[in-house]
Amino acid sequence: MFIDEAKIRVSAGDGGNGCMAFRREKFVPRGGPSGGDGGKGGDVIMESSERHNTLVHFRFNPEYKAERGRHGEGSNKTGREGADVILKVPVGTIVYDEETGEKVFDFSAADQRVIIARGGRGGRGNAQFATSVHQAPRQCEPGRPGEEHAYRLELKLLADVGLIGYPNVGKSTLISRISAARPKIADYPFTTLEPNLGVVAVGDAKDEISFVVADIPGLIEGAHTGSGLGTQFLRHIERTRLLVHLVDVSDASGRPDVVKDVDVILGELASFGAGLENKPMIMVASKIDVANKNKLAALTRYCKKHKLKLYEISAVTGKGIDELKYAIAKKVDRLRAPESTQADPQSA
């Protein structure tokens, strides 16, 4: 099981202090108490969202603080409430109290909201303490402090994107380029024996898209009948939204016909029987730094004919990696939007 984890500290806003004041107006001798109440401090709220899929953002930004309430003022003016802070988490996030280890909440659906640190109440101003026998109270309250908590967030990762292709085409090299995953990379087939997951974040904090990529063992002809490592690990990409299909266009592959390579892989996906061959797919020409021009041209023609987008990359020089990363992020984001469930899964 692959788990994404983050620890955060949250503090709600303190309440504003109550105010002590007396009316001072011309022709109104001995005006009454007029100190307003302090405003309530902002809450820290957690909300589940379909558009978020990892906790990577919280690992880089572990502290959150909501605004404090303003102090009360004279003329019975109540202080403004502090603004809330809303933290968006992926569906599937489980929140634990870091100190007690207790489970606080389990986000099982989108748009669930929980207050994870409550803002302090504002203090009462002296106007609130006036009674018939005590008409000029000099008493007012300070605001209450906001709650502070430490939480541990846990999310079982589900891959959004599956990397597929023959062995040795550079799948593990690619995931190590775009995520923090560090799988074994070597110049022989079947280096990867078990799936590796990597978390990729694209864009700035405000507009961030993050997704999970699965690097799986390479496929070969006859994999569905047990050749090579077989196809059982394809179940790890059954629930992905997008497949990224790497095709080695260098001479290192030892296979002369890239179009046949593509057909073999698609055939193996189809034989697996979970509809993998119908998933949206981005095609990638890998090892472009040492490309065989004829192979690249043949793959380009094939993709044009089948209306598939082709990206050319070199995981060694870095060429084309950013473009590919952004294209994947954009596509994943679009596939996550609820209306896209109706869309044609073949459209690239």
Residue 137 has φ and ψ, to the nearest 5°, of -65, 140
**Residue entry with tokens 């997704």:** 211
**Residue entry with tokens 């596939």:** 335
Residue closer to Mg ion by CB (options 127, 181) is: 181
Give the contact letters, 138-167, x = binds to ligand GTP (CB under 6 A), - = no: -----------------------------x
Residue closer to ligand GTP by CB (options 317, 346) is: 317
- The amino acid that residue 104 corresponds to is V
Q: Which residues 175-194 are close enough to bind ligand GTP by CB under 6 A? A: 185-187, 189-192
Looking at 11, 76, 176, 192, which residue binds Mg ion (CB under 5 A)? 192
Residue closer to ligand GTP by CB (options 141, 248) is: 248
Q: For 22, which DSSP code?
A: B
- Taking the complex as a whole, the smallest distance from the CB of residue 181 to ligand GTP amounts, in Å, to 11
- Report if residue 289 touches ligand GTP, rule: CB under 6 A: yes
Q: Which does 38 bind (CB under 5 to 8 A by kind): ligand GTP, Mg ion, none?
A: none
Total number of residues that touch ligand GTP (CB under 6 A): 23
- The amino acid that residue 7 corresponds to is K
- Taking the complex as a whole, the smallest distance from the CB of residue 187 to ligand GTP amounts, in Å, to 4
- Taking the complex as a whole, the smallest distance from the CB of residue 161 to ligand GTP amounts, in Å, to 15
Dihedral sign, Cα of residue 313, residue 314, residue 319, residue 324 = positive
- Report if residue 218 touches ligand GTP, rule: CB under 6 A: yes
- Report if residue 112 touches Mg ion, rule: CB under 5 A: no
- Alpha helix stretches (DSSP H) within the chain: 56-60, 171-178, 258-272, 293-305, 321-336
The encoded tokens of residue 77 equal 């003016």
DSSP 302-314: HHHHTT--EEE--
Q: Which does 314 bind (CB under 5 to 8 A by kind): Mg ion, ligand GTP, none?
A: ligand GTP
Distance between CA 173 and CA 314 in Å, rounded? Answer: 10
CA distances from 342 to 91, 122, 139, 214, 345 (A): 21, 49, 64, 25, 8
Do 189 and 167 meet the contact criterion of CB atoms below 8 Å apart? yes
- Taking the complex as a whole, the smallest distance from the CB of residue 267 to ligand GTP amounts, in Å, to 18
Residue closer to ligand GTP by CB (options 150, 180) is: 180
Q: Which does 17 bind (CB under 5 to 8 A by kind): Mg ion, ligand GTP, none?
A: none
SS3 (DSSP) at 77: strand
DSSP 249-303: -BGGG--S-HHHHHHHHHHHHHHH-SSGGGS-EEEEEE-GGGB-HHHHHHHHHHH
Looking at 217, 231, 311, 328, which residue binds ligand GTP (CB under 6 A)? 217
Do 77 and 36 meet the contact criterion of CB atoms below 8 Å apart? yes
Residue closer to ligand GTP by CB (options 18, 183) is: 183
Looking at 314, 327, 332, 333, which residue binds ligand GTP (CB under 6 A)? 314
Give the contact letters, 151-190, x = binds to Mg ion (CB under 5 A), - = no: ---------------------x------------------
Residue closer to ligand GTP by CB (options 228, 267) is: 228
Using CB under 6 A, list all residues that contact ligand GTP. 167-173, 185-187, 189-192, 217-218, 286-287, 289-290, 314-316
